[in-house]
Amino acid sequence: MKNFTLFEDQNEFVDNLRHALREGFRSILGVASPAFGKTVVAGYITSEAKKKTGGSVWFLVHRKNLLRQTSQSFWKAGIEHGLITSGKRRSELPVQVGTIGTVHSRYASMKAPTILFIDEAHLGKGRMFETVITWAIEQGSIVIGLTGTPQRLDGKPLDIFQKMIEAKSTRWLIDQGRLSRYEIYSTPNLPDISTVRKSGGDLNREDLAAVMDTKTIVGDAIGHWRKYANGMITVCYCVNVAHSKHTAAAFNAAGIAAVHVDADTTTAELKDACEGLADGRYKTLCNCELVIEGFDLSAQVGRDITLECCILLRPTESLARYLQMVFRALRKKNRPAVILDHAGCVWKHGLPDDDREWSLEGRKKGKRKKDEDEQPDLQIQQCMNCYHVFKAGPDCCPSCGEPLPRKARAEIEVVDGELEKIDVAQIRRERKREQGQARTLRELIELGLRRGMNKPSQWAAITLSARAGRKPTAKDFAEAKRVMLEIQQGGSSEEEAF
């Protein structure tokens, strides 16, 4: 087994996990962005556990293709291991890589490991996941879940874990050069999904396909790919298998080599698709629910495949699903990733590297306001010279330098079907300015509520106390809770900053 050299932030993450264990927590959810190196960290912990205690370590995934790529990563790191999966006789090696489904079917006759890693642990409240995790905890295992998006599609809490540990943010990884910068081009004319039913916490696929699987939308995707991402290695996310096949066929008909893959694609076909991307035979990979959670294209063929562009043809209610899709294109590269959003996802869920407040408590339920499903009120301005879209404020276009009037987004006449570039830096500056303008406790809480925070009163108390150069007290939190209750009840109060 080789010696692992961790980045400083990875060491900090491991130290935080150790501290949580010393505090008595036995099931911990580790949250880290892509390219943070979750598998590397798991490998390091595995090697340390073997050296110090001689205990057993399992790393469980939920798909067979993830089993294969995780096993390859462990062998590459010099970690000898067995496999727990159907059709394989289990070895007695202390380190095992397996599928959650196989362990679920066999756990009654198995001895739980010393340490159990659960990959893509935001799925942890699913029946199989919860059964296996509960069994391991009852058997005395330390359970460490790993995910980049700690939010279930149905909004239910992830309370099977006792503690959440967060690594450095996506924004920090971009600033450090571990993830690539990005440009987003999004449509001002959102798909009309008003008649699309909900199913399983997200939009019904059959209804959604009827909206998105059209010649107009797919044709726009091809035209905009040529305009903004011509020649880039691209992954395209579609609603269902038929939509993905139609999209791949349309790209091919337009002279752009594309290939479709899905969960039923054979190993040989998947390998050919990945090798085709690596050697340039294909430019676009169309898929439905495959190149998403934890999926590493490079691991399928043992060659580097750096995705440069992501096309979103699938609206979603799920923040986690949106982030899983766009994260695939943020792997480190020499130029910015290009995200072509034909589904309006960025208007609903924000930028990929927004600061987000994660919680084990899940999303709060309650009746939505009538306009809550509409685009956020992001006062955006558009340059009619180059169609670059950015946060309102500059006197000239940040992209082409064209002088422009200051207009709210709603006042701008847009070109039908044209994607608009989003000025990420300007949006970030505007949000910081918005927070700075919230001077009182009440204003901060109202801002937190508008941003959909899980604990806006606590955030407001912490923020206001930090401005005063001190830590918040129990009295501060109690006052913030009182003010939030007053806001929710429709009352008003006058109060000064601390």
Structure confidence by residue, pLDDT tens digits, 223-237: 999 999 999 999 999
Q: Determine the pLDDT at residue 401.
A: 67
Average pLDDT, the chain: 84
- Does residue 417 register a pLDDT over 80? no
Query: Which tokens sit at 210?
Result: 């009827």
Tokens 């391991």 locate to 136
Backbone torsion region of residue 473, taken as left when φ is above 0, otherwise alpha when ψ lies between -120 and 50, otherwise beta: beta
Residue range(s) in the chain whose domain bears CATH number 3.40.50.300: 8-169, 178-354
* Of 116, 1, 118, 115, the residue nearest 51 (C-alpha): 1
CB 38 within 8 A of CB 7: no
Mean pLDDT score, 358-378: 54
Note the pLDDT tens digit of each residue in 465-495: 888 888 888 889 899 999 988 888 775 444 3
What are phi and psi for residue 133, nearest 5 degrees? -65, -45
Note the pLDDT tens digit of each residue in 131-160: 999 999 999 999 999 999 898 877 788 999
The domain over range 178-354 is classified in CATH as 3.40.640.10: no
* Of 340, 166, 385, the residue nearest 247 (C-alpha): 340
Q: Is 493 exposed, middle or buried (0-12, 13-18, 19+ CB in 10 A)?
A: exposed
pTM of the model: 0.77
Query: Which tokens sit at 167?
Result: 């690594």
CB 221 within 8 A of CB 228: no
- Beta bridge partners, 185, equal 340, 421
Q: Determine the pLDDT at residue 391.
A: 46
Note the pLDDT tens digit of each residue in 290-343: 887 767 788 777 788 999 999 999 999 988 899 999 999 999 999 999 999 999
Tell me what percent of the residues of the chain surpass a pLDDT of 70: 86
The domain over range 8-169 is classified in CATH as 3.40.50.300: yes
